[in-house]
Amino acid sequence: MKLKIATRGSKLALWQAEWVKKRLEKLGHEVELKIVTTTGDKILNKPLADIGGKGLFIKEVEEALLRGEAQIAVHSLKDFPTQYDKEHFTLAAIPKREAVEDCFLSETFETLAELPHNAVIGTSSIRRAMQLKAFRSDFVIVDLRGNVDTRINKLKKGEFDAIILAYAGIKRLGLIKEVKYVEVLDTDIMVPAMGQGALGIETINDEEVIKAVKPLNDLWTEVEVSVERDFVDELNLGCHAPVGINAKIMVDDSIKIKGVVQGKDGKVIKKELLVPFDEWKYVGREFADEFKEYL
C-alpha cells in the first residue's frame, strides 16, 4: 500500500517519522514523508502556553491529512491532546515506549542537587517548572523554546546553568555525549508528562490505512498511556498544563501510578497508587478524582 506520513521538519520529528516509515516498509508498504511547518515551529519568541499550547504542533499536520496530502501523522504522544477530531482521525497505533524520564543537562554541574543557589534552568514546560520549584524554591526558571539542538546550543553558550529535556528525545537523536553532564531524573523528583517517551501514530479514518499501521502497536505501552491520558482527560487539563502522570506496569503485572498537579493555591500535590492490572481501564479516571478538590 502507498502511504504518506505528514511530519514536522525538526530533527526529532523527522527521526520519529523515519522510524515509523522503516517499520511500515518492512511490512511491505511504500512510504514517503510530507514535511509540514507548524505555527508552533514558527513562533519561538513566546512561551507555548501564551500562543495556544502544544496543539499548535498538531493542527497544521492534521490539516494536511484532511487535504489528502498524507494519510498518517507521527506525534510525540505527550503533545497529542486527549480530545481530538475522532470523526476524521484515529490514534491507530502506539509503538513500544522509549524512556519516560526527563533529564538534567549541564556543562558545569553534575546533578540537579548540585546546582548553586538561584541557578538558572531553561525549560518550556510548566510541568517541569512546577516540579523544579517544588524541589528547590530558589531555582530561577527561564522559558526555553526551539528544537533539541537549539536548546543544547543555548546551554553550551552559557545562557543557562542547566536545562531539562525529555530523555527519550536525547536518546533518539544520539545527543547524550553532546553535553558534559546528563542526569536522568527519577520519577519521584520529576513525574513525566502523559505519554512521554511514546509515539502516537494518527491516521485518517480509513480502514485500510488503520489496518496497515496497527501491527506497530504495543499493547503494554497502550495500557500505560491510556491510564495517563484518562487521568489528564478526567481533570480536563491540556498538554501544556501543570500536570504530570506516569503509569508503569510492574513485573508482577500490577500498575504503579504517580501523579502531580499544581493546585489553585499554587501548592504542588503529588500522589502514588498501586493497582492490579485488570483495573487499568478505569483507574486513570478514578485516580484523577483524588486531585479534583485541589484544582
- Residue 40 banded pLDDT, cuts 50, 70, 90: low
Least Cα distance to 6 among 82, 69, 92 occurs for 69
Domain annotation covers residue 46: yes
Q: Please tell me whether residues 9 and 91 are part of one structural domain.
A: yes
Q: What CA–CA distance (Å, rounded) separates 79 from 56?
A: 9
Q: Could you tell me the CATH number of the domain that includes residue 35?
A: 3.40.190.10
- Residue 128 banded pLDDT, cuts 50, 70, 90: very high
Domain annotation covers residue 189: no
In this prediction, residue 51 carries a pLDDT of 46
Mean of pLDDT over the chain: 93
In this prediction, residue 47 carries a pLDDT of 57
Q: Which of 48-52, 53-57, 156-160, 182-186 has the lowest mean pLDDT?
A: 48-52
Q: Please tell me whether residues 83 and 202 are part of one structural domain.
A: yes
Q: Please tell me whether residues 59 and 107 are part of one structural domain.
A: no
Candidates 41, 79, 102, 161; catalytic one: 79
- 143 in catalytic set: no
DSSP secondary structure code for residue 195 in this structure: T
What is the identity of the amino acid at 17?
A: A
The per-residue pLDDT for range 41-98, each reduced to its tens digit, is 555 555 555 545 545 678 889 999 999 999 999 999 999 999 999 999 999 999 999 9
* For residue 234, pLDDT beyond 70: yes
Q: Please tell me whether residues 90 and 143 are part of one structural domain.
A: no
Domain range for 144: 102-184
291 CB-contact burial (10 Å; exposed 0-12 / middle 13-18 / buried 19+)? buried
The pTM is what? 0.93
Residue pointed to by grid coordinates 528547590? 136
Phi–psi pair at 2, nearest 5 degrees: -85, 125
Any residues with CB less than 8 A from the CB of 58 and at least 6 apart, and which? 38, 73, 75, 79, 80, 81, 84
